[in-house]
Amino acid sequence: MDERRARRIRRAFSFDAAALARLRAASLLELERLDDAHAAAFARDAQADFTRLLAEDRLIAFVLCDGAEVVGSACAIFFERLPYPDGTLHAEIAGVYVAPAHRGQGWAARLVQAVVAATERRGVRKTVLHPSPLARPLYERLGFEDEPAMRLRSSPATLDTAANIALHARKSS
Ligand SMILES: CC(C)(COP(=O)(O)OP(=O)(O)OC[C@H]1O[C@@H](n2cnc3c(N)ncnc32)[C@H](O)[C@@H]1OP(=O)(O)O)[C@@H](O)C(=O)NCCC(=O)NCCS
């Protein structure tokens, strides 16, 4: 039997929160942003977050199923920006993960395409993502491009400056 026939992509529902949390932990472990000692606690908290975000309709996710097992995911989380003539709603693609045994067969590309189609149906103004270096070619093939952006460095110097501004504001009010 063609093994690909047993696998399929479907929309995630609230009962998938535990699986989404498990895959998120696996992804962060692989990317070395989480260590083994904290993985179980992280997954517990993440399950609660996924449950809440799905219930609030702030998150759309698609999952790759191998039979009854969830082995891949891609999510979009929605956020508002200040008004533009074409709207305020934006989406960030995240949580793109495919278990190692299923990689290199185009599943991540299909998961991301499904999520992007769903964000477009919501009428988002812009869809963004923050790729890991190895995943860049995947997203470029799917039509993502670089755009200039800046982020605040949370260095002690920055935090000191922020604290000084807050103190100054309090003194002069
Ligand atoms: C990235 C990832 C989801 C790709 O899954 P996949 O189903 O194998 O992807 P596809 O078959 O649709 O596309 C393959 C592309 O994935 C990218 N890729 C391959 N290995 C990768 C890796 N270890 N890490 C990240 N991206 C990788 C490459 O761009 C590859 O394209 P290429 O074969 O032309 O080089 C999967 O490798 C993974 O889960 N990695 C760990 C988590 C991660 O890096 N997530 C992305 C965060 S932005």
Q: Is the pLDDT of residue 3 over 60?
A: no
What pTM value is reported for the model?
A: 0.90
What is the tens place of the pLDDT at every residue in 140-165? 999 999 999 999 998 766 666 666 66
For residue 97, give the amino acid letter: Y
Tell me: pLDDT of 92 over 60.
yes
CA of 103 to the centre of ligand 1 (A): 7
Residue 116's nearest CA partner among 84, 148, 79, 143 is: 143
Taking residues 79-101, report their average pLDDT: 98
pLDDT at 173 over 90: no
Q: What is the pLDDT of residues 26-59, one digit of tens each?
A: 999 999 999 999 999 999 999 999 999 999 999 9
Is residue 11's pLDDT more than 50? yes
Tell me what pLDDT residue 96 has: 98
User: What residues have CB less than 8 Å from 76, skipping those under 6 apart?
Assistant: 59, 60, 61, 91, 92, 93, 94, 115, 116, 118, 119, 127
Q: Atom 31 (ligand 1): residue with closest C-alpha?
A: 138
pLDDT of residue 166: 67
d(CA 107, CA 9): 8
Atom of ligand 1 nearest to the CA of 109: 12
Give the Cα separation of 122 and 27 in Å (integer): 27
Query: CB neighbours (10 Å) of residue 98?
Result: 22
Q: How far are the Cα atoms of 88, 102, 113, 156 from residue 70, in angstroms, in the given order? A: 33, 11, 18, 41
d(CA 166, ligand 1 centre) in Å: 43
pLDDT in tens, 99-133: 999 999 999 999 999 999 999 999 999 999 999 99
All domains in the chain, ordered by first residue: 3-171 (3.40.630.30)
Q: How far apart (Å, rounded) are the C-alpha atoms in residues 117 and 110?
A: 11
Which residues line the pocket of ligand 1, CB cutoff 6 A?
Answer: 27, 30-31, 96-98, 103-109, 131-132, 134-135, 137-138
Given this model, what pLDDT does residue 170 score? Answer: 67
CA 44–ligand 1 middle distance (angstroms): 26
pLDDT for residue 168 is more than 80 = no
For position 154, what pLDDT does the model report?
82
Whose Cα sits closest to atom 48 in ligand 1? 131
Identity of the residue numbered 5: R
Nearest CA among 31, 102, 103, 110 for reference residue 69:
102
Q: Which residue has the tokens 């891609």?
A: 74
Tokens matching residue 32: 């070395």
